[in-house]
Amino acid sequence: MTKDEAKEAYGLVSLFCAIYKQKYKKAPVVNKYREKWAMKDVIDSVGYDRAKTLLEYYFKLNKPDHTLTWFFYNFDKIDVTLVELEKD
């Protein structure tokens, strides 16, 4: 992972933490070093800008809790849903 790729991945993990803290009034427990690798895979799949958009949209979904793990396993489904919404 290059320095720029790591910076983007850490940035999105930090964005997740900030949105989570704003929504739930508490900081999530996140291993940023480990999660940067999964976030890099998301960025590699959809690009940085789209990954950021998907992460922000994720917190608009009506879910009882928002975990980073769930996002990593389902970002592709969120992307399909968002594409459909953008068509409307």
Nearest to residue 30, comparing CAs of 2, 79, 72, 1? 72
At 22-73, the pLDDT tens digits run 999 999 999 999 999 999 999 999 999 999 999 999 999 988 889 999 999 9
- Residue 22 is predicted with a pLDDT of 95
Q: What is the pLDDT of residue 49?
A: 96
Rounded to whole angstroms, the Cα distance separating 5 from 79 reads: 21
Whether the per-residue pLDDT at 88 is higher than 80: the answer is no
Model pLDDT, residue 86: 83
Query: Residues 41, 45, 47, 51: is their CA dihedral positive or negative?
Result: negative
